[in-house]
Amino acid sequence: MHEPAIVSREEWLEARRALLAEEKAHLRAHDALAERRRALPWVRVDKAYAFDGPNGRETLGDLFAGRSQLIVKHFMLGPGWKEGCIGCSFGADQLDGALIHLVNHDVMLVAVSRAPYAEIEPFHKRMGWRFKWVSSHGSDFNFDFHVSFTEADKARGKVFYNFQEIDYAGEELPGYSVFTKNESGQIFHTYSVFSRGTEDVGTVYGFLDVTPRGRNEPPGTNLSRWVRHHDKYEQGTGISCCHGRSGVL
Which residues partner with 160 through β-bridges? 165
Asked whether residue 206 is domain-assigned, the answer is yes
pLDDT at 45: 98
Same domain membership, residue 187 and residue 64: yes
Same domain membership, residue 133 and residue 14: no
Asked whether residue 131 is domain-assigned, the answer is yes
- What's 144's domain CATH number? 3.40.30.10
1-15 pLDDT, tens per residue? 788 899 999 999 999
Domain count, the chain: 2
Q: How many CA atoms within 13 Å lie on the side-chain side of 136? A: 26
* CA nearest neighbour of 136 among 111, 168, 109, 154: 111
Same domain membership, residue 125 and residue 46: yes
* CA nearest neighbour of 56 among 140, 135, 123, 142: 135
pLDDT at 236: 60
123-143 pLDDT, tens per residue? 999 999 999 999 999 999 999
70/187 Cα distance (integer angstroms): 10
Same domain membership, residue 192 and residue 71: yes
Asked whether residue 208 is domain-assigned, the answer is yes
Task: Say yes or no to pLDDT of 90 above 60.
Answer: yes
120/89 Cα distance (integer angstroms): 12
pLDDT at 235: 66
pLDDT-based confidence at 209, cuts 50/70/90? very high
pTM for the full predicted model: 0.91
pLDDT at 143: 98
Same domain membership, residue 196 and residue 156: yes
111/77 Cα distance (integer angstroms): 10
